[in-house]
A and B are shown apart, each in its own frame.
Chain A
Amino acid sequence: MRTLLIPVLCAVVIVALLPLIAGYIVLVERKVMAHMQARLGPMRVGPHGLLQPIADALKLMLKEDVIPTNADRLIFWFAPVASVAAALVAYSAMPIGPAFQIADLNVGLLFIVAVSSLGIYGVVLGGWASNSHYSLLGAMRSAAQLVSYEVAAGLALVSVLLLAGSLSMKEIVQAQLDQGVWFVFYVPFGFFIYLVASIAETNRAPFDLPEADSEIVAGYMTEYSGFRWALYFLAEYANVIVVAGVATTLFFGGWLRPLTRYHDHFPGTHVELLDVVPAFAMIALALYCFRLAPRQPLRVQKRVMAAAGVKCVLFAGILFAALFGSDAVREGVHGAFWFLAKVGAYIYCFMWFRFTFPRYRFDQLMRLSWQFLIPLGLVNVIGVAVAIVLRERWDWNPFFSLVPTTIVTLGFAAWLTADKLELSGTDEDIAAESAAVLPGSGE
């Protein structure tokens, strides 16, 4: 029973906190979007919209639950639940810091990939059960997109597996600690492929064709409303956190601090210089909150802002106190901090891309995966395998053995894109080109 206690506690904490976290990611996304577009974003509910997610959640729960007349009721009910369940199960192998992991599976990485790939049933079945053309189109798009990009993502993950020599998430982080470098520096192209593929897998812009609002209303979610719609939304953001967590673990050293090898202590203590950074960052955030608090127009908003500041001080206190605890406590708390910070940075990149790139066309999306990312991934995997042989047989320096791999992959990428770049030229370019090739046709 004892062995089950901690995993069950972790599971309960994750399941309870995830809706809240997803809600706040949505808020951050709206704020980031607004500021990128020179607007303010949500400002009404709470100071700077801090309570907006809670208001939204309440609204969604109170909304009328509409089921279309000819919908397949059973599957209509089941699909969003399947989506959320698949997204949540994936967390069971995710190491949020060395101490906070539900189960360190022997095949953890494959498990996460496999389970999150099951989430597609929620999308496809939901789109089918709605008995609407837009929904079905969205579902079909989603199925095709996910299957295509899973291959590319898988190839990107293989390049890391070859370097780490294990499928267990914990051991992959440990391998990065032992080799002294984050794998993103070893296989930048693996990371690039995973980054693109993970955006496509989570149906986010610029690859959000399954829910492209200007083409097919809201795709598979068209007929959903109220709480079921909220479930889809939760699943989507849960999936974003999963891919961010996988990328963090595989390419950015998971819970490891940046500059892991740098050990300088404060004179007279065993506290490392760099370990204090998180606490100070939190204090800075708290000071910012306290500075903003008196400027809020309403008294309630002042209080909420001050409360947010107090919470930051509390976090800073925990981070600071953990420094003086035992090694396990220190690594657990600070590991969780760094992991979440890296996940946050990755999700911020997702938002950034969303507001920067225009949406792809569906044939472009398919071509990008099958004709560019997958061949690139194959070359990258072969290159990494060769580099590992060089390293183990002839004792090459691990970093320099991987440099040729990167250069070859870069060359291959350039070769792959060369003729497509010409194709995407302007009409004048194409006309001029055909005029050069076929005299007389340039009129």
Chain B
Amino acid sequence: MMLAKLLFYFFALLAVGSAVLMVTRRNIVHAAVFLVTTLLATAGIFLQLEAEFLFVVQLLVYAGGIMVLFVFVIMLVNLDIEMRAVRFNKQWTVAGALAFVLAMQVLTALWVGRKTFHLPAAPAALAERNTETVADALFSHFVLAFEVASILLLVAMIGAVVMGKRRAE
């Protein structure tokens, strides 16, 4: 029990800390490294919540796939000018206010619902055969959404190819 708590707070601190670093770094590659750290810490939290399949998907798709794509593009467009350019635009006040309002809203919601938030022990079936349960839900109840997601990915793939293609001179 103690170990679970320790793990959660470790991963939570790691996630938030590297997220803040990611947003403030001047160097894009450093930002990408910190985002990967956040994603890995989140994966740890998924594991701690006994969502094993999602943990692996997070590692494989997010950290191992999407972020590699990001790093790849960063290296294609990496500009030395970036190191000297102004990092932030002039929307600090708007952004701060928006984030604050959002945080207040969620905090109010949390305060109102604070009685209902005790995490029960995971039902045995859910923890034991996580992959099978997820697959069952995915291919029975959510099968339409699954197909829509596959079409979305196909469209995105075609879109990316069209965007990345050099126009014939």
Contacts and interface: CB of A to CB of B under 8 A. Distances in A.
Interface string B72-83: 100100100000
A75 B74 CA distance: 15
B75 A136 contact: yes
A106 interface: yes
A144 B72 contact: yes
B152 to A, nearest CB: 18
Interface string A107-141: 10011011101101100110011000000100110
A111 B130 contact: no
A147 B68 contact: yes
A104 interface: no
B24 to A, nearest CB: 15
B65 A147 contact: yes
Given A106-B129, A106-B130, A107-B56, A114 B64 contact: yes
A111 B30 contact: no
A111 B129 CA distance: 16
Nearest to A144: B72
A75 B29 contact: yes
Contacts of A125: 29, 33, 71
A107 B53 contact: yes
B60 interface: yes
A68 B43 CA distance: 34
B59 interface: yes
A75 B33 contact: yes
Contact of A106 (B63, B64, B131): B131
Interface string A344-375: 00000000000000000000000000000000
A281 to B, nearest CB: 38
Most chain A beta-carbon contacts within 10 A, residue among B30, B36, B65, B75: B75
A113 B60 contact: yes
A110 B71 CA distance: 23
Interface string B86-114: 00000000000000000000000000000
Contacts of B69: 147
B60 A105 contact: no
Given A75-B33, A118-B59, A147-B65, A106 B52 contact: yes
- Give the interface size class of chain B: 20 to 34
B30 A143 contact: no
Interface size class of A (residues with CB under 8 A): 20 to 34
Given A72-B29, A167-B131, A114 B71 contact: no
A150 B131 CA distance: 21
A115 B59 contact: yes
Given A121-B71, A128-B75, A107 B52 contact: yes
Contacts of B52: 105-107
B79 to A, nearest CB: 13
B59 A111 contact: yes
A297 to B, nearest CB: 51
B59 A114 contact: yes
B148 to A, nearest CB: 21
Contacts of A118: 59, 63-64
6 contacts: A106-B52, A106-B129, A107-B52, A107-B53, A114-B60, A125-B29
Interface of B: 27, 29-30, 33, 36, 52-53, 55-56, 59-60, 63-65, 68-69, 71-72, 75, 78, 129-131
User: Which 5 A/B pairs are nearest by Cβ-Cβ distance?
Assistant: A114-B59, A117-B64, A114-B60, A110-B56, A107-B56
Given A114-B64, A118-B64, A125-B29, 19 more contacts: A75-B30, A75-B33, A106-B130, A110-B53, A110-B56, A111-B59, A114-B56, A114-B63, A117-B60, A120-B68, A121-B33, A124-B68, A128-B29, A128-B75, A140-B72, A143-B72, A146-B68, A147-B65, A150-B64
